[in-house]
Amino acid sequence: MGLKAHLKNYINHLLYLAGFADVHDMNLEKSFREIIAKSKNPLSRIDLSTSYFSQVDEDAILEAILERIGWPSQSNPGTFVELGVGNGTENNTLLLAARGWQGFWFGGQEISFNTHSAFRNKLEFYKCWITQETLKEVIIPKILKINNLDVLSLDLDGNDWHFCRSLLESGVQPKVWIQEYNATFPPDVDWCMVYDEKHKWDLTSYFGASLLAFVKLFDRFGYRLVACNVTGANAFFIKNEFSTNFSDVPESVSDLYMPSRPWLYRARKKIDGRAMSGFNFKIHEF
């Protein structure tokens, strides 16, 4: 280990002993509670302690949605698919896998554990760089083999809108869809990045599509927006057939939109800089 790494570890250790990290987290937890308390959406007013493996509050929002549309029975566990799962330790469907659901993961990064042994062969992971070609030739055929798909989550930091359209047009239509959106754009802006097979997120605001762009796309396929998570990262859509269970949820995109709050994500990462180091929300010329 080099001198720079030693100094960084030493400073982090001093900060830990001084309790700065805990004070930092408590302040962010307070900010989180204040923000969600003002929300017009009852699905957003959740307890952060009920979220386990997602970045911030996505676990809890998903569970609140599933409570309304009906949980699969223990004898017939639910099904899920997630595209873009990181190393497998922090995503939107790990909790479902832990509950015994059957699912597929797709992503370009190595998983940090053996999915088969960890979840009794109920979770299958496919490492692949996701493009329109791999989507149509590999991923969609596997997903379509799932009968009655319950949850799909897509977070690929780039061509998401284009992948969503391909999935929806191919007949992939789960009960609940969790979708990353670009909260840099306000709720009245309809914007989508041009498809780029080689795109890699460069930590700027040039990625994906605005919330309104996704709302218009999903509306064409019978979906309704019911929530956005507190950091302005993920939007939650449900099939219209379940709308009667969400009569208390606002229908206006403006009322459901959450602005970008990447600093709240740090509440789970302490102050060691791992989460948002180098984060830059520079606006590109679109």
pLDDT of residue 35: 83
Name 60's Cβ contacts closer than 8 Å, sequence gap at least 6: 46, 47, 48, 50, 51
**pLDDT (tens digit per residue) in 15-56:** 555 555 567 667 777 777 788 888 899 998 887 777 788 888
Q: Tell me whether residue 285 is in a domain.
A: no
Q: Tell me whether residue 229 is in a domain.
A: yes
Helices in 42-150 by DSSP H: which ranges? 58-69, 94-98, 115-118, 132-134, 140-143
Instruction: Output helix, strand, coil percentages for the chain, rounded to the nearest 5.
Output: 35, 15, 50
pLDDT of residue 265: 67
Q: Flag residues of the chain having pLDDT under 70.
A: 1, 5-6, 8-22, 24-25, 265-286
Closest alpha carbon to 154 in 126, 125, 169, 176: 176
Q: Tell me whether residue 280 is in a domain.
A: no
Q: Tell me whether residue 107 is in a domain.
A: yes
Q: Tell me whether residue 8 is in a domain.
A: yes
pLDDT of residue 286: 31
Helices in 111-261 by DSSP H: which ranges? 115-118, 132-134, 140-143, 160-169, 211-219, 253-256
Beta pairing partners, 223:
239
User: Which domain range does residue 163 map to?
Assistant: 3-268
The domain that holds 22 is classified in CATH as 3.40.50.150
Cα–Cα distances in Å, from 95 out to 67, 123, 202, 227? 15, 12, 29, 19
Q: Tell me whether residue 286 is in a domain.
A: no
Strand pairing class (223-228; 234-239): antiparallel
Total count of domains within the chain:
1
Name 79's Cβ contacts closer than 8 Å, sequence gap at least 6: 72, 101, 102, 103, 146, 147, 148, 149, 150, 151
The answer to whether 48 and 60 have CB atoms below 8 angstroms apart is yes
pLDDT of residue 19: 55
pLDDT of residue 33: 79
Q: Tell me whether residue 65 is in a domain.
A: yes
